[in-house]
Amino acid sequence: MKSERELLQLLNAGNEESIRIIFDEFFDGLCLYAATLTRNFQVAEEVVEDVFIYIWLNSSSIKITTSLKSYLYKSVYHGCLKWQKSESRQTLRDDMNGTGLFQSSQYADPESDMILQELEEKAKSILEALPEQCKKIYMLSRYENLTYSQIAQKLKITVGTVKTQMNRAFNRFRKDFGL
């Protein structure tokens, strides 16, 4: 077993095995912790997976000055807070707009309805422009609420492939929406 310091050095060097070791050692505990904060195990898994994606994508520049365990738990905590804020805003939007995103409200003016319709059309066109596997993975995650692990099992691919494809989809949406 490698020491924490060795693992972090390997991680900074882009060594895939280091992230696998860290993932295997901490994933279950982090999911249980996140589930206590979100009260939703599926969301908890996604928050934890997002933390690992962030760490892997930023492995060459990430500087962990505390213990690895503290860093991971703090990252998951902040991820859960971010989710809760997002969930609160989405609930507010749902309350204001009826049942969900991109739906017009009975109180909205025609200009707002037109903007919402344009956003919906743009989102659909971005989704349609994604490569087939990327689109399929995104839709399974967002519309069928499957976890990355469930998607990987269903499509007979690795969780890493799912994460990579989801990252590509998110980057495409961000780029095309100018975020």
Is the Cα dihedral 163, 164, 167, 173 positive or negative? negative
Asked whether 155 and 136 are in contact (CB, 8 A), the reply is yes
Residues 58 and 5 in one domain: yes
Whichever domain contains 20, its CATH number is 1.10.1740.10
pLDDT at residue 90 in the model: 56
| Nearest by Cα to 48 from 140, 165, 163 | 163
Q: Are 116 and 41 members of one domain?
A: no
Q: How many domains does the chain have?
A: 2
- Tokens linked to 32: 């249980």
* Domain end residue (candidates: 99, 128, 156): 99
* 176 within 8 A of 126, measured Cβ to Cβ: yes
How far apart CA 19 and CA 89 sit, in angstroms, is 33
Gap between the Cα atoms of 125 and 59, Å rounded: 32
In a domain, 94, yes or no: yes
Average pLDDT over residues 3-27: 87
Which of 65-69, 79-83, 87-91 is the least confident region? Answer: 87-91
Say if residue 35's pLDDT is above 80. Answer: yes
Residues 131 and 170 in one domain: yes
93 and 136 share one domain: no
CATH of the domain at 158: 1.10.10.10
Residues 113 and 83 in one domain: no
Cβ distance 142 to 130 under 8 Å? no
Q: How far does CA 7 lie from the centroid of its chain?
A: 24
Q: Is the pLDDT score of 105 beyond 50? A: no
Domain encompassing residue 133: 109-179
* Predicted pLDDT of residue 71: 92
The reply to whether 93 and 113 lie within a common domain is no
The answer to whether the CB of 47 falls within 8 A of the CB of 83 is yes
Do 139 and 64 lie in a common domain?
no
Q: Are 73 and 152 part of one and the same domain?
A: no
Q: At what angle do helices 159-177 and 41-57 cross, to 10 degrees?
A: 80
- pLDDT, tens only, 117-150: 677 777 788 888 889 999 999 888 877 778 888 9
User: Can you state the angle between helices 132-142 and 110-129, rounded to 10 degrees?
Assistant: 130
Boundary of a domain, candidates 77, 99, 121: 99
Q: Compute the distance between CA of residue 76 and CA of residue 97 in angstroms, rounded to an integer.
A: 30
